[in-house]
Structure 1
Amino acid sequence: MDVETRAQSFETALRRAGVRITRQRAALLRVLAAAEDHPDANQLHTRATEAGAGVSLATVYRTLTALEAQGVIVKLEFEGESARFEPADGLHHDHMIDVETGEVTEFMSERIERLQAEIAAELGFEIVRHRLELYVRRRK
């Protein structure tokens, strides 16, 4: 999904939630829609400020909370890190988090997906949803 379409979907979700779309909030939505990483609230605040939006950190938090409640973004809470966010419109994927740098790498493995389903079935379950986080360190 392109940045403008994603920003528009965020705006639509906020309007559904009864949130007023101010100039600052619209700029924040564009910054969030353009993010190719997994930014936290402070990073989004900094980026929005650098883009010329005089948005407060409190507005960033309120906006993220409303977007999460509407199901258009996902809040990621990795160990020892502040909460990060990503759009909920992508395909299922898992995350590797570098414990030294905090860098997050998305990955998808059909082998892992099959194995998880097999294990759940062997134990008499089916997977409804899951999240896999691998905490990694680059080999020296």
Structure 2
Amino acid sequence: MSGAELKKVGLKVTLPRLKILEILESAGDEHHLTAEDVYKILLEQGEEVGLATVYRVLTQFEQAGIVRRLNFENNISIFELDTGDNHDHLVCLKSGKVKEFVDPIIESRIQEIAKENGYELSGHSLVIYGTLPQESR
């Protein structure tokens, strides 16, 4: 996403917004980041952005539909780019590691359950909690 796209969703283009967006876009497989993770990366890059600014920008991105905030039982909120796809999450209760997955059978069954109960499905959220083996954390 570019500065022009930030403007399109109603956000002023600022250096902190661009830097935070860049971090989210370049996170790769580990793209489920807490605000603190983003803050630490900014510090490692030599950026002088406060943690409050990181939270504020991530909240603005969430309101603009750029990111999704996921709140898990371990009292951790993570952020991921909102790519428009539908996926579910596995969360390790020991390490906090988050992995996403898509299962066509689960997706189909959720649609069936909604239909059986007279609901028009607009979305869903499935989170599976467990513990990874020590060597995988």
Q: In the alignment, what sits opposite 1:21?
A: 14
Q: In the alignment, what sits opposite 1:76?
A: 70
Matches within 5 A, 1:43-58: 43-58=37-52
- TM-score, normalised to structure 2, is 0.85
Structure 2 unaligned runs (5+)? none
Name the SS for the 1:130 alignment partner: coil
Identify the match of residue 94 of structure 2 among 100, 111, 121.
Answer: 100
Query: Within 2, Cα distance between the matches of 1:121 and 1:25?
Result: 41
Name the SS for the 1:76 alignment partner: strand
Q: In the alignment, what sits opposite 1:135?
A: 129
Q: How much has 1:16 moved relative to structure 2?
A: 4.0
Q: In the alignment, what sits opposite 2:114?
A: 120
Structure 1 unaligned runs (5+)? 1-5
RMSD of aligned residue pairs (Cα, Å) = 2.1
Name the SS for the 1:19 alignment partner: coil
Distance 1:119 1:18, change over 3 A: closer
Query: Within 2, Cα distance between the matches of 1:20 and 1:14?
Result: 7
Name the SS for the 1:80 alignment partner: coil
Identical positions, percent: 33
Name the SS for the 1:13 alignment partner: helix
Letter in 2 for 1:111: I
Query: Within 2, Cα distance between the matches of 1:126 and 1:16?
Result: 28
- TM-score, normalised to structure 1, is 0.83
Contact kept in structure 2, 1:75 and 1:83, CA below 8 Å: yes
Name the SS for the 1:135 alignment partner: strand
Q: How much has 1:139 moved relative to structure 2?
A: 6.5
